[in-house]
């Protein structure tokens, strides 16, 4: 009898795992397909602007996708390096400060790129008015 219960529990656990995997796969596919144009950061930046500005910003973002992905990659790498430096067994404050500076520089570069695209989107849509 105990063996039967164990089989039922394992089957239920397997079913739940498969369902969870489908949800995760759907999430990954959605975020991969939407790229930066549908990303949370990009939407937060332009969410308050009129629809035509948001549409133009997404178009410009798609045109500059490689540049935007490179800037995001730089931010992620800098953050990873900061985490590594701050969690190192031999803590060296100068290394952490240097890693923090790299995070600031990478974040600034990403923000400059996004704001430049937003400004261009505003120019392009305001000319049409």
Tens digit of each residue's pLDDT (9 = 90 or more) over 31-70: 655 554 445 555 566 668 888 988 999 999 999 999 999 9
Per domain, the residue ranges of the chain are 1-34, 36-127
Position 22 pLDDT exceeds 70 = no
Cβ neighbours, 10 Å, residue 37: 18
| Residue pair 76/41 in contact by the 8 Å Cβ criterion | no
Tens digit of each residue's pLDDT (9 = 90 or more) over 69-117: 999 999 999 999 999 888 888 888 898 899 999 999 999 999 999 999 9
The pTM (predicted TM-score) of the whole model is 0.62
**pLDDT number for residue 38:** 43
State the sign of the Cα–Cα–Cα–Cα dihedral 118, 119, 121, 126: positive
């Amino acid at each position: 009898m105990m063996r039967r219960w164990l089989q039922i529990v394992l089957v239920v656990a397997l079913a739940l795992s498969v369902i969870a995997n489908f949800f995760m796969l759907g999430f990954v596919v959605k975020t991969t397909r939407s790229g930066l144009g549908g990303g949370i950061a990009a939407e937060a930046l332009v969410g308050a602007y009129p629809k035509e500005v948001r549409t133009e910003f997404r178009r410009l973002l798609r045109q500059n996708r490689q540049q935007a992905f490179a800037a995001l990659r730089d931010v992620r790498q800098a953050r990873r390096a900061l985490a590594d430096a701050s969690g190192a067994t031999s803590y060296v404050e100068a290394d952490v400060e240097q890693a923090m500076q790299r995070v600031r520089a990478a974040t600034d570069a990403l923000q400059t790129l996004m704001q430049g695209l937003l400004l261009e989107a505003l120019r392009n849509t305001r000319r049409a008015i």
